Structure 1
Amino acid sequence: MSTSSKIKEINTVQEFKEFYLQDAQYSYCTECNHLEYSHGEGFLEIIALEDLQKLHSRHIGHQSRRKFYSIVLLSEGEVEEVIGHQKYHFGPKSMYFVPENQLHSIESWSEDLKGILCMFDADYFLLCLKHQIKLNQFPFFQLDKVPYVNLSERETQMMQHLFWKLNSENCQKSTFNDDLLVRMFLNIILLEAERIYNHKVVDQAFSLSRKEQLVAQFQLLVNQHFLEKKQVNEYAGILCVHPHYLNDMVKEVSGFSASYFIQKQLIQEAKSRLMQTNQTVSMIATDLNFTDDSYFGRFFKKITGLTPLQYRKKHKHQ
């Protein structure tokens, strides 16, 4: 049996509950007025670690791959977790980050654990703001950067307050404008975390295997060139490897094909423009270097299940 077959793929919050919690029906906040989202079209969950600790079932050491992002603020206690292929020990006053599709396992949690787990997917992060930073541009979500930062007492209190505000707004939201405010607070948390991270983690040594280095370089190139380079062989050429080899390494490290990451970048950019601008579908197709509108429309619907106009009508804030 291959190692990959033992990895639990976790795509939604419901699957997270079923894998990690004794009671899959447990609600993190009984007072929340959740806006309805279809599968894969955006979610945000904030959980107190001490509550999660009480409900945690016996999955210590089991590998999972979550199709969403996680931020953990640890205020008290200690944890050992594996992120990617590295084992980390985190103590009080620290934050650590798990990007989407990254291998992850919990090795141990101390009984005095206190803190916050925030989970969200890329679709939820799409704000109605032009020129916002993309999730994969935050250093702590990049494969070749350390996925944690230690905090001072003041920084810990500040982040606790921001998470409290995020959770409070999330629980009280009843309109899409309320939801936009929640997304903005999530953006503030990530920007504050990045500012602290860049101040403290500059040029910190980080060891990656050769295949992890290759995949990190590939993902960085995709982030930079996805508009003009849409074929795996173009990236393989830049990296001086065979396309099949590149695809195999990306699949081994991430669980997804190399083409998946190119398509994902294109779709995220298209979604951003549909939500954040008034550009026509034809203008967006041209900007994304598609040969014609109909091809762009078929590509978008194949990935999302909606036409570009249907997506805009369903998700753009009024």
Structure 2
Amino acid sequence: MKATQIPAKNKLGSHLHFKISKFKEQIKKTRPHTHEGYYELIYLHEGEGFHWLDTERHRIYAPELYYLAPGSLHCWQFTSIPKGFVVMFTADFMDPIQDVHLTELLQVSPTQVQARTGTAFQPYPIFEAMQQEYQRLQPFSTPVIKGYLQALLGKLLQISKEREVHSTPVAGLTARFLSLLPQKSPDFTTAKAYARHLGVSPQRLNAACRQHTGQSASKHITVHRLLEAKRYLLHTDQTVSEVAYTLRYNDPSYFVKFFKKHTGLTPVQFRQSYLGG
């Protein structure tokens, strides 16, 4: 039975800003969940099964790299024992001045990436060296770890086929807005609310977003609210009305119209198209 809410995990707690460990070698199915406040970089060099990324189910073809930004929803369904590494880190792990290249890599990265590494790139030695550096923590270990992380993220962007919009850094105000979006939704529903929180006008926020992403802030909000709606429809047993109220719609019928306008399907039709019934 599915949950009525989507749990948010924080495996770093309030004090850690970086952690690397071996992937748990268990055949299991995890519950859909999000990660709050930290990034995840996962490398599987063995394993079979499926990996859910929001509303899409992907077959696992190890060796593969996975990158998840804060707020991403995912879950695993393994059919053989997985082996690999998990790296978790927060934005506070990077210094915006000293680690400018690493920060830029995070800014140009999409929120989720799943990419096969193939034979040309073998990341296992890098992850292994990073874990050894993390475990012994000698002088200068932190910049060494950041160097490994920068190399992995840069290579991941090279081998992933992303839209051109991700080829230039998302600067300043736009980056802060995109980071705030999963934190404040569904409580913030308009560009005006986000702009007020960021201390700018809605016009300036929309202009900044168009300049760096090609879409207005309002469009980003709509896309994110649709994503949240799909998450609840697919990964919880909430009724359509309950999903509507969860996403701060006072009238479920308006939520149904909103959803159908942007997807071509009612919420019930969307749920049935994925889950049947």
Instruction: Place the TM-score, normalised by the shorter chain, in its bin.
Output: 0.5 to 0.7
Distance 1:242 1:111 in 2: 40
2:154 matched to 1:191? yes
Match of 1:13 in 2: 12
Q: Which residues of structure 1 form unaligned runs of 5+? A: 15-38, 205-217, 258-318
Which AA in structure 2 matches 1:96?
Y
Which AA in structure 2 matches 1:223?
A
Distance 2:95 2:149 in 1: 11
1:105–1:171 distance in 2 versus 1, CA, 3 Å: same
Distance 2:158 2:173 in 1: 24
Give the conservation status (yes or no) of the 8 Å contact 1:65–1:102: yes
1:250–1:44 distance in 2 versus 1, CA, 3 Å: farther
SS in structure 2 of the partner of residue 80 of structure 1: strand
Give the conservation status (yes or no) of the 8 Å contact 1:46–1:117: yes
Q: CA deviation at 1:41?
A: 5.5
Q: CA deviation at 1:162?
A: 0.8
SS in structure 2 of the partner of residue 193 of structure 1: helix
Match of 1:314 in 2: none
Relative contact order: is structure 1 or structure 2 higher (C-alpha 8 Å, sep ≥ 6)? 2
Match of 1:42 in 2: 17
Match of 2:127 in 1: 163
Q: CA deviation at 1:155?
A: 1.0
Matches within 5 A, 1:20-169: 39-40=14-15, 42-47=17-22, 49=23, 52-54=24-26, 60-67=29-36, 68-106=38-76, 108-126=77-95, 129=98, 131-134=100-103, 135-139=105-109, 142-143=110-111, 147-156=113-122, 159-169=123-133
- TM-score (normalised: structure 2): 0.57
2:223 matched to 1:223? no
SS in structure 2 of the partner of residue 169 of structure 1: helix
1:249–1:203 distance in 2 versus 1, CA, 3 Å: closer
Distance 1:91 1:118 in 2: 19
- TM-score (normalised: structure 1): 0.50
SS in structure 2 of the partner of residue 152 of structure 1: coil
Distance 2:113 2:219 in 1: 30
Count of residue pairs brought into register by the alignment = 198
Distance 1:65 1:236 in 2: 27
Q: CA deviation at 1:148?
A: 1.5
Match of 2:238 in 1: none
Match of 1:249 in 2: 225
Q: Which residues of structure 2 form unaligned runs of 5+? A: 165-169, 179-194, 211-215, 233-246, 248-277
Distance 1:161 1:96 in 2: 17
Deviations, residues 43-76 of structure 1 (Å, cap 9, x unaligned): 22222x3xx124x7x6x25121112211222222
1:225–1:85 distance in 2 versus 1, CA, 3 Å: closer
1:89–1:172 distance in 2 versus 1, CA, 3 Å: same
SS in structure 1 of the partner of residue 101 of structure 2: coil
RMSD: 4.1
SS in structure 1 of the partner of residue 121 of structure 2: helix
Which AA in structure 2 matches 1:171?
Q
Match of 2:187 in 1: none
Identity of aligned residues (%): 13
Deviations, residues 15-41 of structure 1 (Å, cap 9, x unaligned): xxxxxxxxxxxxxxxxxxxxxxxx256
Which AA in structure 1 matches 2:95?
L
Give the conservation status (yes or no) of the 8 Å contact 1:127–1:183: no
Give the conservation status (yes or no) of the 8 Å contact 2:94–2:102: no
